[in-house]
Structure 1
């Protein structure tokens, strides 16, 4: 399989399926395509002409193209049932799907005001009311999951849900909003996870820059 991703410093959507493949030891070839360049879409379509030219994009060994991070996660869960990408328990699995879908479709203020930039540091900035409301909801989700399933990850063991929220932890590291101790501890655990640490290390070594994302007004 081949996974097309964007810059590890900026591409929150690419981070999610990459973490799943790495964490569960599923073999794949990584193709990194720099974001924000005139050639970006052309390069994506050269690998996946039947897709929409978006990242991330998974191409399996038969050439089947799957785009969108959550669709890729579901595809991996179906193809590799030997790994508990979703929780095995039906009720927990339903809960995990709900909070993952909420992350996938929501939190627009957080996305707009506290974008992912692993190399940057913008402590205390852009804490708009809408962004703080998003952060409060995320902390409530994390707290409920950790209390219900006992940690250390949202549903006990690392799953798709943790991969969906890992870029949020990266945002929190960069923007450093005020968090509860439970949320801060979860951010520390996610950041220290080997697959996440590998992604961060790669991001810190990148030299390609997207200037407007490197400056906070």
Structure 2
């Protein structure tokens, strides 16, 4: 493992991203460019202290799951992801679609869906990423252990109904877009214009992310 090179690589890739690039609100004025360490930690589901020590070359080899989460959070290309794995002393994944790596282009689409719940899942149903609206509707993905991040069965119905504790019942149409290799799906939930569900979806956007679990 090349600790110093790994730390430099993480700092460099963090500095090139703006909050809007990963679907975050910029917030107060920033003294330095790029994401904050705690923002990367939240995107990856690791503690801020652990990520800080990673950038300070003070931790042992991170797990493959951690490396995959870092590649996703920092919007790495396939080549950059492979470089990250090698710096950590790991062999790059042979099948990115099943290894949990999402192509940056697909993540950019997800990040820009500010007013519509959307998430990326594998063919096996594992949820890889959610935007803020999906987290508000379905729950915060980073609060769940990795083994419990599977999407419940969707069936064949294009319409799904949700009962959210803050805004009430929503009836949303489910659209599924396949990635180029068909190994991952971008799922987008929309409401019929002018409907009660559309008004409640807008209210959910205003309410924002809350630690409340909806029932379906």
Give the structure-1-normalised TM-score. 0.30
Q: TM (normalized to structure 2)?
A: 0.30
Larger radius of gyration: 2
User: Where is the helix percentage greater, Structure 1 or Structure 2?
Assistant: 1
